């Protein structure tokens, strides 16, 4: 005998977005009509009937207010406006990235100036720059060369950035982070 098909493990998902129409739980609500006019405190069923008469939805705008504030409007338009606001807020945010520039204690002058120009470009765009000096083999005995190079970098970056993380030796590498002013 075959068993009826049941979804034992299927989760009930919570509906996303604001509550509307019959999902509103409060018995009384403050109602604002589609023109923005305050209709006052109404029974939930009366408010839903008014929204149905206008072929619109009753949407809960401020759920924490006493009584909750609901507006008569189109649900699709409301969700579209909310999404547009989120996208505008996302556009205004500035992401700060951390760019890394790797050097060696024996880096030549031309390579050094090229990397410093790149670092200045990154800082002018608003990104942080992490300088890493990697030591190989016996170079570890001459860590003073790394300190001198970091001091030179500090002097060259003084006009466009300030040191966020002072140079420190971490294993076989020396690290310093500079942020834009």
User: Does 30 lie in the same domain as 72?
Assistant: yes
Q: For residue range 75-134, what is the model confidence (pLDDT) as tens digits?
A: 888 889 889 999 998 888 777 889 999 999 988 999 999 999 999 999 999 899 999 999
Residue 48 within a domain: yes
Report the pLDDT value the prediction gives residue 8, as an integer from 0 to 100: 65
- Judge whether 164 lies within some domain: yes
What is the CATH number for 40? 3.10.20.80
Residue 55 covered by a domain:
yes
Confidence band of 2 (pLDDT split at 50, 70, 90): low
Residues 103 and 56 in one domain: no
Out of 50, 79, 108, pick the residue that ends a domain. 79
Regarding whether 66 and 117 lie in a shared domain, the answer is: no
Q: Which residues 6+ apart lie within 8 Å of 43 measured at CB? A: 27, 28
* Owning domain of residue 37: 21-79
Q: pLDDT tens-digit profile of 41-86?
A: 888 888 888 888 888 988 888 888 888 898 998 888 888 988 999 9
CA 26 to chain centre: 34
Q: Where residue 167 falls among pLDDT bands split at 50, 70, 90?
A: very high
Q: Is residue 10 part of a domain?
A: no
Q: What percent of the chain has pLDDT over 90?
A: 35
- Percent helix, strand, coil in the chain, to 5, is 40, 30, 30
Which two three-digit tokens encode residue 177? 């982070």
pTM for this structure?
0.53
Q: Is residue 13 part of a domain?
A: no
Residue 90 lies in a domain: no
Number of domains making up the chain? 2
- Is there a single domain that holds both residue 71 and residue 102? no
pLDDT of residue 5: 62
């Amino acid at each position: 005998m075959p068993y009826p098909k049941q979804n034992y493990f299927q989760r009930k998902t919570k509906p996303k977005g604001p509550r509307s129409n019959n999902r509103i739980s409060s018995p009384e609500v403050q109602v604002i009509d589609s023109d923005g006019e305050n209709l006052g405190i109404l029974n939930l069923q009366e408010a839903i009937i008014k929204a149905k008469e206008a072929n619109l939805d009753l949407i809960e705008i401020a759920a924490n207010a006493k009584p909750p504030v609901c507006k008569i409007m189109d649900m699709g338009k409301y969700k579209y406006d909310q999404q547009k606001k989120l996208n505008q807020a996302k556009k205004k945010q500035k992401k700060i990235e951390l760019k890394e520039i790797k050097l060696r204690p024996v880096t030549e002058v031309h390579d050094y100036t090229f990397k410093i120009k790149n670092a200045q470009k990154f800082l002018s765009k608003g990104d942080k720059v992490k300088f890493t000096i990697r030591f190989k083999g016996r170079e570890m005995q001459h860590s003073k060369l790394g300190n001198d190079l970091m001091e030179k970098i500090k002097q060259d970056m003084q006009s466009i950035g300030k040191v966020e993380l002072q140079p420190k030796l971490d294993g076989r590498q020396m690290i310093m982070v500079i942020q834009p002013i």
